[in-house]
Structure formats: structure tokens, C-alpha cells
Structure 1
Amino acid sequence: MVGEEELLRARAVSAVRAAALERDPGTEEHELVALGLPAGQLADVLAPSLFGGHRLVVVQGVHEAAGALVDSLLSYARDPDPELTLVLVHNGGKRNEALLKGFTQAGAAVDECPKIGNAGERMAFVRNEVRRLGGRITPDAATALLDAVGNDLRGLSAAASQLVSDFGGSIDADDVARFHRGQAEVTGFTVAERVLVGDNAGSIEMLRWALDRGVPHVLVADAIADGVRTAARVASLNTTNVGELARTLKLPPWKVKKAQAQARGWTIDALQQAIGVAAELNADVKGVAASADYALERAVRRIVAIRAAAGAGRAGRVPTRR
């Protein structure tokens, strides 16, 4: 198993384990970590068993294997035991490439587990996860799930599984919102969305609800800052073409569309002021303010007031700090 994506590596190992146990329920299992593993200990595990039967040996992190261990593994590859399944897990990169090449040349199967690095790939991952579990998810629901959970594949997979279990075959954005109510990431983005559309009462309600449930202040502050910055970037360019904006800003189209909607009612000057408030908030929640709760509520009110002033055609001056 080769690649940066930990979840995909773990799934590939699990698939091999399941196949080995199906072949022989009495399979003897060994899991080793390459870093610091003595070559002699590996040799003992790979040596033919006195009791017979199939064995499964998984060696994690072979990119960190020392030279002697690499030599021992390559020696085994030249004369493998037919009653043993050996799985090498490599986290990607250039380290110990010769080991991978040696096993590939010896006929070993390779499971590629590349990093899922962009929004489109993560969106496809979410759709495939839900489909794999027997459900369907609408595009806006998949977007909401990504906003809620972020980039962690394990979190996305767990959420997809629970959504299918809770809501059955078809999942929409309302299902995602109901399920993730109380989750830190969803709460942070929900507060940010209410702030950007100028909903003062809704923003404060969601903020207090989040804080009451112990959502970290930094997550809420980060979500607000990200929303304001993205809206400003989209609004600053003299085009409304989603594809052009996505290419220029290196953002996925779904995020551009969302930022366009949130930028309505703002002026560039007002967004710049809001960015300043978000920057102050970042420092406040990291220890500058005596009360992070108060700092968040004050920042929310200030940003909503800036938008209201901009929408009314006034100067949009940042309210003074009290």
C-alpha cells in the first residue's frame, strides 16, 4: 500500500486481512512498525511456522525502515513463503523507493493510496462513500458536508455512514444540517454564514448555542475570517463568471458561488473593515481578550453592523471597541 492518504491505506490493509481470514479463519496475524524494527525480529516473524497454517504480516511505515531491514525485506521478496501474506505500508514519497521497486519487480501487487488534495476529489469521495453505503446525496448536501467536516477523510466517511443510517437512501442539505447540529465545524460555518448575510439575531443565537456546547472559540473565529476573506476576494474582481473566478482565485466553483451569494449587500470597503475585525478577533480568541466569549459576540455584532451600514449606503465605519 503506497500513498499519503491514511484512510485509503488502512482500508487496503483491511481488505487484505479480510481476504486472508476468508481463505483461512485461523490465519495468524502480526503487525509491525518498521521504524526501529530489528531485522532479526522481522526474520523471526517471516520464518516458516512450526505449526503450519497461513500467516499475515503487516509492516507499517516501511518508508522509515533502516537499511538492514530493507535488505532483509528484499531478500524475502526473492524467495517468499507461499503460506504467508506480507503487506508493506509505505506513506509515499522518495524514501526507500528501492524497496518498493524490488517488490514490484518480484511480482507484488501495489495498491495506490494517493492524497485526496482538492475540493473536487473530496466531493467525489463523499458521493462515492454514500453510494458505497447504498445511499444518494444531492450536490448541495455534499457541499454542506464538506463545509461541516472539512478535509479529514475519516470524518467524512464516518459522517456519510451515519447520514445514510439516519436518513436512508436520499440525503439532502437539510439532513446534513440536522445531523451536524452541535458539531464544531458546522456551528462555526453556520455562525459565519449568518454574519455574512447580516442576520444579527440569527448570528448571536447560533454563536451562543455553539459556545454553550463547548465549541472551541478558535473554530468559530476561523470560520468567520475564512468567510469574510473569501467574499472579499470574489467581490474584488471585476467579473461574475464563476469559471473565471474559480481559475483566478484557485477556488472550487461551489465555493465561488457561495461567496458570491454571501458578498451581496457588501461593498469592498466594508469587507476590508470586516477583515480587520476578523484579524482582531483572531488575536482575541488566542489570549489577547480577557473573555473570548465576549470577544466573539462583539466581533459578530460589529461585522453585522458594518454590512448594515454598507447596505444603507453609509460609510460603514467600524464601531469603536468598548
Structure 2
Amino acid sequence: MTPAPRRSAPAKTKSAIPQLPWRNPQPAPIVLVSGPEEVCAERAIAGVRDFLKSEDPSLEVTDVRADDYAAGTLLAVTSPSLFGEPRLVRVAGVEKCSDTFLTEAVSYLSQPQEGATVVLRHTGASVRGKKLLDAIRAGQGSGVEIACPAIKRDSDRFDFAAGEFQAAKKRIAPVALRALVSAFADDLTELAAACHQLINDVPGDVTEQVVERYYGGRVEISAFTVADTAIAGRYGEALLALRHALASGADPVPLVAAVAMKLRTMARVAGTRESSSALAARLGMKDWQVDRARRDLVGWTQATLGMAIHATARADAEVKGASRDSVFALERMITVIATRAPFAG
């Protein structure tokens, strides 16, 4: 029996409207802010407001809910007022929009009101409103789109934080930026707030010591402190850092993960002679990560690095349930790494 032919996935329709970065939004009659990353979406919408406000301080701003919508609202809030002030209408919840809103919004695209900017926020959490999104992307309504995709990978968070400092024309040391990103690995909103606190509160450049002073109590920073001191061979200091981290409530799992991440980077860089930029491009890393790994490799051999990686893999299994004594597992791992010798005890 001949198997039925496989159905190919429908091709993604290419957008016919300009795609703008969320850090540099521009107004248009219709501005579609799409994607799940709320921090970036809020920045984009605020940027559109600020742009319009700078052009005319009399800007009227109205907020509308697409999922709790009264018929006729969109036309009413976009229509010119007696004095003809520009209007900004921010529509939230388009991914949950009512049928009434969907019908009126699609109709509005064919005849946008002069002097009005309508910002439509769609998180992408559902396909609700797809008819409206397709129409905007097809070019109806003279729109633009600002995509705000999820920021999940470490490299994406690093780029986000670096962009915060670049936008503010504030210098931050690469190692300080890495520590900051590590401290807020699970919450982009908190990372953004931390960036702005450092930008606004710290005179001059932001150093690793500054980040440690502000956010040294975060578990992830403690984890990298443990990793850095152990890999540098400072055995006593590494054990003290480990005990301090545990006493502060650090979870053993991210502690091991921090060590493993650094060792993996060292292993990838070890033995290469390429320039930092070329190697970073080939491995999908940053130049500073390559430079830091090369500094960390001083004094290490292939044998001792392999032994450290093995000890870390063992500790990883043990802190995840293979052993009843996770503290001992951590101390043994740190001992092997910091002394670069088999555990004797």
C-alpha cells in the first residue's frame, strides 16, 4: 500500500510592511506590536508615544481593551477633536479580541483617521485576530510592525543588556555585564530594571565590583564567584565562597551549572590558535568570552581539564538526586577543580 503523501506546512506569508526594531520605533497610522516579550513591547509603545509627544505636546492618548470592547469605540477615539490634536490609541489584548473589535478594526484599516496613530498589541499567545494581522501585514492601513520575540537564550539576554547600556551611552566591563546577566537569568523585567539602576545611579563606568556591590546577594553571582575562584586555583577562597553561597540560600544545581558552563567554554577554546573574533564567530560566542576562557586556561592541561569536567558531571548527577549529601558533592567538585588533582579524602 502506497503511503499518503505528507502535507507540507503552509508557507509563511512575507510581510509587505516595514519591520522596525523595538529600540527605534516610528509612528504610522497603524503600528502592530507583535510577540511575547512584554518588556520590549512596552518600550516600543512608549517610544511611539514619546516620538509623537515630541512633535506635538498636545497629543491625546487613549487606552482601549480589544477583549472588553464597546461597539464604535475605535472610530470615536480616532476621530478629530474640536481643536484637531493628534491622537494615539493604544489597543491591548488583541490576541483575545472580541468579534466586534475584530470587525471594526479590519474595517478601520481601509480608512484610517488622519492625525491618529493606532497601536495594536498582539502577544502571539493565540491565533485570535489573525485576520486583522494578515490584513495589516498585507499593507492595508499604511502600517508598520515591531516584532518583540521571546528572549530566552543567554546570548539574547546578554545582547539585550548590552543594548541597554549602549543606548544610554554608558560603558560596562564585559565581565560585569556577564555577572549582571547571570544574576537575572530568569527575569528580563528585573534585568532591565537592574540595567537602568546602574545606568542612573553609577557615575562613570560600571565595573565588576560595582555589580557585585549592588547585586552580590543574587544566587547566580555567588555561583560564578565560586566557579571563578575554583578555576583560578584559589582553593581556600573557593571553599569559603561555596559555603557563603550555600549559607545565603543558593541552590546546588545552579552552582554546578555555573562551573560546568565555564569548563565547557574552556574546553571549546582550548588548543585553538585562531584570533578571538574568528573563533568567537565560529563557535557562536562573544569575543570577550573567548578571551576570558583563554585566561582561565592558564595552568591547565588537557588531562586536568578532563578531570575537572568529569568531577563536575559527577557532582551534577549527585546534586540532582544521585547522592544524599549534595554539600559533600559540591566540596569534592571544588577540591578537584581548585587543586587540579584527584580527590583524596
Determine if the TM-score, normalized by the shorter chain, exceeds 0.5: yes
Are 2:343 and 1:319 equivalent residues in the alignment? yes
1:16–1:245 Cα change, 3 Å: closer
Are 2:213 and 1:178 equivalent residues in the alignment? yes
- Could you say which residue in structure 1 is the equivalent of 2:46? 14
Correspondent of 2:76 among 48, 65, 68 = 48
- Tell me how far apart the structure 1 counterparts of residues 186 and 274 of structure 2 sit (CA, whole Å): 27
Match of 1:88, SS? Answer: strand
- Tell me how far apart the structure 1 counterparts of residues 246 and 210 of structure 2 sit (CA, whole Å): 23
1:170: Cα distance to partner? 2.7
- Describe how 1:10-159 pairs up with structure 2 within 5 A: 10-16=42-48, 23=58, 27-32=61-66, 37=67, 41=69, 43=71, 45-46=73-74, 48=76, 56-60=89-93, 62=95, 70-80=102-112, 85-91=117-123, 96=130, 98-102=134-138, 104-113=139-148, 125-130=160-165, 132-133=167-168, 135-150=170-185, 153-159=188-194
User: Does the CA contact (< 8 Å) of 1:29 and 1:56 recur in 2?
Assistant: yes
Matched to 1:137, the amino acid is I
Match of 1:286, SS? Answer: helix
- Could you say which residue in structure 2 is the equivalent of 1:187? 222
Are 2:233 and 1:201 equivalent residues in the alignment? no
**Larger RCO, structures 1/2 (Cα 8 Å, 6+ apart):** 2
1:154: Cα distance to partner? 3.2
Q: After TM superposition, which residue ranges in structure 1, 4 or more long, deviate above 6 angstroms? A: 52-55, 64-69, 92-95, 115-121
- Could you say which residue in structure 2 is the equivalent of 1:229? 264
- Tell me how far apart the structure 1 counterparts of residues 161 and 272 of structure 2 sit (CA, whole Å): 33
1:132: Cα distance to partner? 4.6
User: Does the CA contact (< 8 Å) of 1:127 and 1:136 recur in 2?
Assistant: no
Matched to 2:219, the amino acid is A
- Could you say which residue in structure 1 is the equivalent of 2:275? 241
Structure 2 length-normalised TM: 0.70
C-alpha RMSD of the superposition:
3.7
Which sections of structure 2, spanning at least 5 residues, go unmatched? 1-32, 82-86
1:198: Cα distance to partner? 1.5
Higher helix share: 1
Matched to 1:301, the amino acid is T
Percent identity over the alignment is 29
- Could you say which residue in structure 1 is the equivalent of 2:20? none
Correspondent of 2:255 among 213, 220, 231 = 220
- Could you say which residue in structure 2 is the equivalent of 1:264? 298
Cα deviation digits, residues 270-316 of structure 1 (max 9, x gap)? 222222222222222223332333332232123223x1x3xxxxxxx
1:70–1:137 Cα change, 3 Å: same
Correspondent of 2:313 among 236, 260, 279 = 279
1:144: Cα distance to partner? 4.2
1:85–1:250 Cα change, 3 Å: closer
Match of 1:265, SS? Answer: coil
- Tell me how far apart the structure 1 counterparts of residues 152 and 196 of structure 2 sit (CA, whole Å): 21
Matched to 1:297, the amino acid is E
Q: How many residues align?
A: 299
1:143: Cα distance to partner? 4.4
Structure 1 length-normalised TM: 0.75
- Tell me how far apart the structure 2 counterparts of residues 99 and 143 of structure 1 sit (CA, whole Å): 42
